[in-house]
Amino acid sequence: TNGMVIVEFSAGKHAATAQGEVIDDETIKVPTPNVQANIGPKDCIVRVQIGVRDLTTTTAKYTYFLNSIAEKSLCYGPGVL
């Protein structure tokens, strides 16, 4: 299905949304929103809305980690092992 994709990351009463794109029938590409001020480093529930349809009733788990915030880390980046 093609169309605008909205992805909602929520934890309790807090939520953040980001716009994504449909890659194929099984893949959606979306940048993770900055949740440092509202959700923080914790587990989130992810739901998807494609086009004018409602958000999905099924969810996926996503975890934000404190050490993925560059300002809070000694070393950060894809080359750090």
Q: What is the pTM of this model?
A: 0.73
pLDDT tens per residue across span 3-57: 689 999 888 888 888 999 888 888 888 888 877 777 777 888 999 998 888 888 9
Strands (E), the chain: 5-11, 14-24, 27-29, 43-50, 60-63
Distance between CA 24 and CA 63 in Å, rounded? 24
